[in-house]
Each structure stands twice: as structure tokens, then as C-alpha cells.
Amino acid sequence: MKLPSLLGKQLTSAHVTLGLLSLAAALLYSSSRSSKTKPAPNATKRVPYLPSLPILGNALDLKRNGHRFLEWLTEQCLSREGLAFTLRNPGRGDLLVTANPEHYEQVMKIQVDNFIKGKYVQDVLADVLGCSLMNVDGEHWKFQRRVVANLFSSRLLREHMTPIVQKHMKNLQDVFSNAATAGERIDAYKLMHRFTLEAFAEIGFGCELGSLASGQEHPFETAFDDAQRFVAVRSRGPVLLWKIKRWLNVGSERQLRNAMAVINELVMSFISKAIERRQLRNEGDLTQILGKDIVSIILDSVESNGQVVEPVEVRDIAVAALVGGRDTTAGALSWLFHTLTKHPRVEAKLRAELLTKLPKLGESDDYVPSLEEVQELPYLEATIHELLRLLPPLAFTGRFCATDTVFPDGTFVPSGTSIWICYCGMARLTSLWGPDAAEFVPERFIDAETGAVLQLPPSKFSAFNVGPRICPGRTLAWLEMKIVVACLVSRFHLVEPPGQETPYSIGITVGMKNPLMVSVERVAAGTSAVAASG
């Protein structure tokens, strides 16, 4: 059975409103930025363009496929066996799209200095992320990267973060257990996001929102979701349009401003309290306990580097960490649970491993495995790898070419070109993954002889990026995903209502447009032995 993937019919009804340029805005903006095509240097090859129309470029193609954008983009990649092609995108310049693993490594690692986030990304994300490492380049990025590197040390992961994840896992499990007892359906998508927000709020800011236990949405949760949605609206339309709306303070821009007011008020209050505690302790008040939360660690790092603590910069780093650590993990968990409902063989094999290697999972609902215990579950890790391969939280990574660049295969990328690395296309290349590339097969990540998880080269697969911009919070993400899947799959079987559609939505990450409603059934005793023998 094929994965309900970006190529499957379940997703072709997805409503991905790109809000692409109105004709008038396209003509006006593109004419103001028109430029001559640079000639490729000798012994290099220029990336071919998709067939397009004069002036309009590929705007009509994008509009026509707006409801199935990722499928269409993936189809274009596969029809060229991953080789790069260029879109003419009126108002934004040329867009080079590639699913070539060698190009991926060149852009993200080997010639990384040639490819930057660029002004467009910074403009779109600035109101949410400020000047954070997710959307800046150069020395500012290097400084923040050094600061963030201290946030996810092995000691902090083990001593500080793991107990918090375990605590919130118990709250999440209670919700599933109560649903099983009451026979009620629950929204697994919302619950995964609530869990990751709760865990990160305590890890990052030292606060408990309480929405997972209470079932009530916290204003911060609402504002955070709204802010990311409205930023996505920006990315789908002309720059000029959203900037005018922001200046007039109307529509989605007004809603974004309101959401950010809620977010900034709460985050800045945490930062102010942390700074005040440090000042009082430095003045001799030893009753002030300095926290292990991310805000406190950021303050430590900034001060140790001889920098003046600027609350706004601390806010930018903390919010960027939250954006990077919440929706990506929650989305991956949601898509994994949805996928397991369609693949009973994988679910049974995964449950067998969990209950065989960690029998306490079947003996006590109070038991939550440790960081060390979840490292010894190869099929669990392979299952998550396979989900991240086919349904990555980021469908593509965008960069801006700052200087003329030539890849080893002779591909010429002129400066001023935007480039997208299409992960969905890479994942479905039969030349890379074999004839079953589009299938959900966790075993592809398992060594058939040793049973260990295969270590693939980053150019072939890397769910958390490669090179200098590799995700700094990947260890926390893995911890959360492994603990949640281990606890829930070992104890519950999820059933989606017949005919439920799961269209995707494109924001900062690839999420679900609709709730993921599931019925929860408790796993019967002895399931492990039955699954293992099958």
C-alpha cells in the first residue's frame, strides 16, 4: 500500500491558497525588476526554463496548480529525474528548483557562503522572528549560532529537558486514555501541537501553560498559530500588497500585529523576570535561583561573550527556537500517526519492538521511557526516518544565490537567483531510493544483517539539514518524537473515521489543513507476542 503522500489522491484536494499575483501587480512589479539573462560561463550549463508565457512567465501554471502545489512541483522534479529547472516568477525573479542530491550538498554545505537567506525571507519573517538565526546571514547569524549551540547540550538534554518531556507526556497520555474510556474522538493534530508547545514553553521559558491538562486553548497558543498562518499569507502574495496592508493596518496584517502583541507581551515578561533575577543575585540576593530554561541559558551565553544583554535579541532567539521546535515536531508526529492508520503491518511491527524491548510500557501507564531507553529502538527510529523522508516538515528549503556559482556537474546558478531544494522530489527519486521510492517502508533504514539503523550520507537523506545550518534542536526533536510514539503506539490503536480527508497546508512548515480526528482503542494484552510472530 502506498503512503498517503504528496502524490496520493488524499492530498490532491488540498487547499493551498498561494494567492499568486494579480495581473496588474505582476505586470507592474515585474517590469520594474526586469533584467537581462546572464550568459553562462564557458564549460557550464544553464538550467532550462519550464515553458512559459511572455511577461506572465509561469504565473498561470502556479495559479492553476495552487490547490496541489507540492504534487505539481514534485511531478516536475520527477519528470526530469531530479535535474534542475527554472520557473519565471513575475515580481520575484527566476526560481531555480532542484531535487538533485549533489546540488543540495553544494547549496547547504560545500558552497554554503554563496547561498543566503536573502532580503525577501528577512522581510517576510521579520515581524515574527525578528533578527534571529532562522532568517539572518553573516556575522549576526554566526553569533546567534554560538549562543544557540549551548542550548541543547547532552547534559541539559538529559538533566533538564527529558524530565519535562516525560511530565508532559503523561498529561498527553491521560487525554488519550480518557478518550479510549469515554469512546470519544479527539483531534490528534491539535494535541501534538499542544504537547510540543507545552513542553517547549517550560523548557524555553520556565512556564506551564496548562492547556494540555485543562483542554482549554491558551491565548499564547492561539496567537502563535495565527502569527504563522498570517506570515504564510505574506509569502503567497506580492510583497507590495502585504506591505501596503501592513502600513494601513488592515486585513491579515492587522491580525498578525494583534497576534504578535500577545506573543511579545508574554515572552518579554519572561525575559524581564529572568534579567531581574540575575541582577538581584549579582547584587547579593542568593535566594534568587537562576533557571535552566532556554532564556536563562541565552542570557548566560550572551554575557559570557562579553555582549550587552538586549531583551529584544533574547526574544528573537527564544521565539526562533520555539518556531523551530514546536510545529516541525508536532507536524511530524501528526503525519506519522495518520500514516500508521494506513499501514497496519508497520504499526504491528513497531508495537512488537516497543513491548518486547521495553515491557514496562505494557505493564504500567505511569511508565515513560528515558532518553537512554528510547535510543535502543531501531525500528522506531527507522519508522520516524521514513516518515521524515516522505513527508518532511519542510517540503523545500529556499536560498538566494548571492554570487555566480557553478556546481561540479557544470550547472550555472547566476547571482540574484532564488533556489529551492525540493525534498519531496528527492524522496521519490527511484534512482536514489529504488523502485519503491514512493512507498512507506521503514525497513529501508535498517541494516538487514545487523538490524541496526543505517547511517546514510547527508546528501541522500537528512531530515534536519546539513552543513553549518544543521538544526541545533534536533536532539530534542528526536527525544520528543521517540517518547511520544513509544508511549502511544505501545498502548493505543488509533482509528480514523471513514472518508476523513487529510489535506496539507503550507506555512512555515507543512501542516494539516483539517483536524486529525481519531478514535482511541486500548491495545489488548499479549499484542506484542502476536505481532512478533506475524
**Range 485-511 burial, b when 16+ CB lie within 10 A, else e:** bbbbbbbbbbebeeeeebbbbbbbbbb
Q: Is residue 369 part of a domain?
A: yes
Number of independent structural domains in the chain = 1
Q: Quick check: is 20 in a domain?
A: no
Q: Is 393 a domain residue?
A: yes
Residue with cell 496548562: 210
Instruction: Give the model confidence (pLDDT) of 376-407 as tens digits.
Output: 999 999 999 999 999 998 888 899 999 999 99
Q: d(Cα 502, Cα 189) in Å, to the nearest integer? A: 11
Q: Residue 15 has what pLDDT? A: 35
Q: Which residue numbers in the chain have pLDDT < 70?
A: 1-43, 285-291, 305-306, 309, 525-534
The domain that holds 315 is classified in CATH as 1.10.630.10
Q: Is residue 293 part of a domain?
A: yes
Residue 156: half-sphere exposure toward Cβ, Cα within 13 Å: 17
Long-range pairs of 103-107 with CB within 8 A, sequence gap ≥ 24: 103/407, 103/411, 103/421, 104/421, 104/426, 104/459, 104/466, 105/458, 105/459, 105/466, 106/405, 106/407, 106/408, 107/397, 107/399, 107/419, 107/421
Looking at residue 223, its pLDDT comes to 93
Residue 58 within any structural domain of the chain = no
pLDDT (0 to 100) of residue 36: 47
Radius of gyration of the chain (CA): 24
Q: How far is CA 67 from CA 16, 20, 52, 252, in A?
A: 5, 12, 20, 21
Task: For the sheet with 411-413, list strands across it.
Answer: 45-46, 411-413, 405-406
Q: Which amino acid is at 189?
A: Y
Alpha-carbon distance of 38 to 494, in angstroms, equals 55
- Asked, for residue 40, whether it belongs to a domain, the answer is no
Q: Is residue 340 part of a domain?
A: yes
Is 284 inside any structural domain?
yes
Q: Cell numbers of 483, please?
A: 517518547
- Assess contact for 311 and 271: CB atoms under 8 A: yes
Q: In which domain, by residue range, is 189 found?
A: 149-399+417-533
Specify the pLDDT at position 94.
Answer: 86
384 closest CA partner among 480, 514, 510: 480
pLDDT at position 260 is 94
Q: What was the pLDDT predicted at 40?
A: 61
Taking each helix axis from N to C end, the angle separating 294-304 and 311-342, rounded to the nearest 10 degrees, works out to 140
What does the pLDDT read at residue 1?
A: 37
Strands 93-98 and 517-522: unpaired
